[in-house]
Structure 1
Amino acid sequence: MPPESTALNLAVAEPALGPLPRHVAIIMDGNGRWAAKRGLPRLEGHRRGVEAVRRTVRAAIGLGIEHLTVYGFSAENWRRPADEVADLFGLLKRFIRVDLAQLHANNVRVSVIGDRPALAEDIRLLLDEAEEITCRNSGLNLVVAFNYGGRQEIVQAVRRLARQVRAGELDPEAIDMGTIAAALDTRGIPDPDLVIRTSGEMRVSNFLPWQTAYSEFVFLPDLWPDFDEDTFRQAIDQFRGRDRRFGGRSAKAL
């Protein structure tokens, strides 16, 4: 028998986790189904969804995430019944009025992307106020995608560049990926490292199609109102356990 000190150690080491994502984007899906499963009105599902947003923001701050983008209202959501759209807008107003001071106190910067000119004036003013009050904060950048559509964003970017070309301010041959990225609503914000979608659906629903070209995706069965810090951490750990190649060789194989 070999001495005890030389016995083989058969324990399997846990794989090392990679760095945290700088930017997490979330498609918050399942509010209506959450309410329907409980025999509640859809508005109650949306209310509980706002609570999940609050939990997620707190978790992101605690983890040290730099950017968190939430898909609040898509350009396609206008197809929903008018009373549900009105409820969603009412929840947005309430969220900003109730939570803005707390976000500001926690050094959160609020940024809004999407077709703001198409919104009612009172909504535009609230969004402007949220950005203005928090613009100097240096903590988490909370990006709210509201009245947002990814294809529409790209169309608007192309139009901006076309106007610059027509005015003689831009050489068409000088247009590259950086030029296009700078014309998008997300200019100055790094692309998402991780995209999370809840509710078991496995599609991107016109959410940041340009920016997510090399993002990692985690699709969760949880309905959005049930999303909490533990679920968030588990999704992030999935991301940290992956080998990101960006079209090149595996870093683990080097």
Structure 2
Amino acid sequence: MALIDVVPRRASEAMMLNELVPEFWDKAARGRPLPEPVSASSPQLVRTLTRLARWRRGVDKNTMTRIAMSWFDMEHWLKVLITVMADAGFRAAVPGEVKAQLREHAAAVAHRSQRAAWVGALAAVLDDEPLVVIDPRARRGYALTMSGIGDNGQLHILLADRLVGDPGQGLVAGDRPARSWVEAATSGDPYLGPDNPAIRCFRLFDGHGTYISPEGRPADIEPLDGTRVLVLHPPNGNYALGVGRVFEQMTPTLRFDRILEPAEAQHWFARLAPAVENDLMAN
């Protein structure tokens, strides 16, 4: 927690400045190739860009030096941030505006940095987030709370583990997920491999009728009346998931709070839009 006031902001700044490097290099280097982001090439890049500051209005030598050094130090800041953002307490302490900046700047450089893409995903992780799940076939609804879930594939596995069971007890009919799948989604080896992939138990749609892809993130689920809502549909085939979770060190929770009262479930049924079934597994 001692890093909370430094690492997120420095990583955000490094990505913001890193985005500028290719443009400034093109203006200053006259066709020479951009140096590789290794320390041995840093003097060349710094010298070239600081010379550019002499005639570029509004950019001084110190600022240009910081821009140049972001080409070499960004990945170091991102590695540290990925480590600490796996901790729920740290994520909770990062201000919302800083998380928004991290997502924005990560998106700008993710095409050349996998770590930036991971930082953007971590900055979008939901914690203590209410979730309503609707089972149209049984006309039932469920209230859950999710934290630390990295992608919707992981969410699929955890939902099946929490909800599938005896319909006589108010649970969702279906086959329960294998224990190895649940372990991969929580605290075990996240890599399931080709011989034991997790098979999703249902297709998910949000309350607006939009298909929720396993490759997406819980933050992509558009809220309905301020709450994220998922509607369960039959799987319509075997959609295999080879990885149980994308962030190995991040501990997920999906708490099953309660089965909704019939009147409360009906409240949500009345607000659901029809599912737009245009996914690959649609009938």
- Class of the TM-score when normalised by the shorter of the 2 chains: under 0.3
Q: What's the TM-score once normalised by structure 2's chain length?
A: 0.23
Q: What's the TM-score once normalised by structure 1's chain length?
A: 0.25
Structure with the larger helix share: 1
Bigger radius of gyration among the two: 2
Using CA pairs below 8 Å that are at least 6 residues apart, which structure has the higher relative contact order?
1
